[in-house]
């Protein structure tokens, strides 16, 4: 088995990396657990608190941050005979975190599971199990060894051997 070549630095600086920005926004434990519960349909403060056993002050701060980021929204509801309260449904932006969460679930099922997974996805059309994979623009599956990273030279200029980083190329026009 051949090892991959040693990489001395990431291809994109953290300040320019949307993956790093995503981690900054949602990467702490409580935020991820709140989003996980929200993916299953939990919306109400007391339900989040009871399910996660998160301190109320932490939950309040994380929900406020998710609302500020546009991942969740505050929506008023009122049960009969009760005062108005707030629920926190996912926005479209928040719902689109479903795919990376399913990918992480699949990874956990493979590497961390102690038996059969407790959760899975199936196609409504044919009942087949679903899994996450990379496909090209035409929908054809891509093997990991066929993936190439492409980085904009303006974001991270290529190094010229013996000369350090190359100067960014300017676009003409």
Structure tokens at 49: 């608190």
State the pTM of this model: 0.79
Q: What is the pLDDT of residue 173?
A: 38
Three-state SS string across 99-159, please? Answer: HHHHHHHHHHHHHCCCCCCCCCCECCCCCCECCCCCECCCCCECCHHHCCCCCCCCCCCCE
> How far is 73 from 70, CA to CA, in rounded Å?
7
**Would you state the pLDDT for residue 156?**
57
Encoding tokens for residue 31?
Answer: 């935020």
pLDDT for 42 equals 98
Residue reference for tokens 């980083």: 165
Q: What is the DSSP letter of 16?
A: G
Q: Identify the pLDDT of residue 122.
A: 92
pLDDT given for residue 150 in this prediction: 81
- Residue stretches of the chain with pLDDT short of 50: 166-173
pLDDT value of residue 12? 83
Q: Is 55 exposed, middle or buried (0-12, 13-18, 19+ CB in 10 A)?
A: exposed
């Amino acid at each position: 088995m051949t090892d991959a070549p040693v990489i001395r630095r990431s291809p994109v600086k953290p300040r320019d990396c949307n993956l790093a920005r995503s981690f900054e926004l949602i990467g702490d434990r409580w935020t991820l657990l709140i989003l996980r519960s929200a993916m299953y349909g939990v919306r109400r403060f007391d339900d989040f608190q009871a399910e996660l056993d998160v301190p109320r002050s932490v939950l309040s701060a994380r929900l406020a941050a998710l609302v500020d980021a546009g991942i969740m929204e505050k929506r008023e509801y009122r049960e009969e005979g009760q005062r108005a309260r707030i629920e926190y449904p996912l926005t479209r932006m928040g719902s689109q975190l479903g795919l990376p969460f399913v990918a992480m679930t699949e990874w956990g099922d493979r590497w961390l599971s102690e038996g059969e997974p407790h959760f899975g996805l199936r196609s409504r059309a044919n009942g087949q199990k679903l899994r996450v994979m990379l496909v090209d623009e035409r929908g054809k599956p891509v093997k990991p060894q066929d993936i190439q990273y492409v980085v904009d030279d303006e974001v991270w200029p290529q190094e010229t051997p013996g000369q350090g980083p190359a100067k960014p190329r300017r676009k003409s026009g």
